[in-house]
Amino acid sequence: MLKWTDMACIVSSKPQLTAKATSSAVFFYLRSEMLIRGTSMPIGLRGHHLLCLLGYRGMGYSKEFCENMTTVYETLRQHPETQIRIVLGPDDLCAVYPKDQESHCENKTVYQRDAEIVSRLGLEVDMELSWSEICGQVADQVKPADIGHLCATCRWEPYGVCADGVRLIGEGRALPPVNNK
Ligand code: SF4
């Protein structure tokens, strides 16, 4: 099955698009198109990003990274039936990581965090399930205080937003809207 990243490769092979758009703009274009068309194409997410999305409040590594993250976050928040594919390594959020910053997407410690979170949620790489099912697993398997252990070295952990996202999901409450575009 095609993923968003595959679609980006297809579109970037079209000169009429690449002449006008940067690769990240292609992603935004594709995502907008898919939201409009109601595609069933799954979003590829690595393990730790399943929790990062719960704590996303508009902060990120660059304007384009945040625009992409907001699109994914709002898609999941508004359409919890959206299908997710659990992937190993860089995913549809890493795809827009700024090229002028030191990348950590392939770091061993990040893979370890992915594996630990996938295991904690009772999931496996290559599984496909809905975002609402993932939230159900979070509610059953993760407590807010777990973020401090699972994500001890993450720069965003001290903000407390991810623990708060886990709390909201555990209480069956909605995540807040984010609109930073
Ligand atoms: S603390 Fe960092 S790695 Fe953990 S969920 Fe939040 S942003 Fe993701």
Query: What DSSP state is assigned to residue 177?
Result: P
Q: Which domain holds residue 87?
A: 45-170
**Residue 135 is assigned to a structural domain of this protein:** yes
Pocket test for ligand 1, best of 162, 166, 167, 178 (most atoms within 8 A of CB): 162
pTM of the model: 0.83
Query: What DSSP state is assigned to residue 129?
Result: E
CB 125 within 8 A of CB 85: no
Tell me the CA–centroid distance for residue 165 and ligand 1, in Å.
10
**Residue 22 is assigned to a structural domain of this protein:** no
DSSP assignment of 22-76 equals: -HHHHHHHHHHHHHHHT--PPEEE-HHHHHHHHH-SS--SSHHHHHHHHHHHHHH
CB 36 within 8 A of CB 146: no
pLDDT digits (tens, 9 = 90+) for 7-66: 544 443 333 333 334 555 555 555 555 554 455 689 999 999 999 999 999 999 999 999
Does residue 48's CB lie within 6 angstroms of at least one atom of ligand 1?
yes
**Residue 105 is assigned to a structural domain of this protein:** yes
Does residue 116's CB lie within 6 angstroms of at least one atom of ligand 1?
no
Nearest CA to ligand 1 atom 5: 52
Q: Given the DSSP bridges, would you call strands 128-130 and 83-86 parallel, antiparallel or unpaired?
A: antiparallel
What is the band of 179 on the pLDDT scale with cuts at 50, 70, 90?
confident
**Residue 67 is assigned to a structural domain of this protein:** yes
Does residue 151's CB lie within 6 angstroms of at least one atom of ligand 1?
yes
Does residue 50's CB lie within 6 angstroms of at least one atom of ligand 1?
no
Nearest CA to ligand 1 atom 4: 151
**Residue 119 is assigned to a structural domain of this protein:** yes
pLDDT digits (tens, 9 = 90+) for 122-163: 999 999 999 999 999 999 999 999 999 999 999 999 999 999
Instruction: Say how many domains are in the chain.
Output: 1
**Residue 17 is assigned to a structural domain of this protein:** no
Atom of ligand 1 nearest to the CA of 113: 3
Query: Residue 54's Cα: distance from chain center in Å?
Result: 9
* pLDDT (0 to 100) of residue 165: 98
* pLDDT (0 to 100) of residue 87: 98
**Residue 27 is assigned to a structural domain of this protein:** no
Among 55, 73, 70, 58, residue whose Cα is nearest residue 148: 55
Tell me the CA–centroid distance for residue 154 and ligand 1, in Å.
6
Give me the amino acid identity at 134. I
What gap in Å lies between CA 35 and CA 7, rounded to an integer? 14
The set of residues, in sequence order, having a beta carbon less than 8 Å from that of 132 and lying 6+ positions away, is 80, 81
Does residue 117's CB lie within 6 angstroms of at least one atom of ligand 1?
no
Measure the N-to-C terminal CA separation of the chain; round to a whole number of Å: 30
**Residue 7 is assigned to a structural domain of this protein:** no
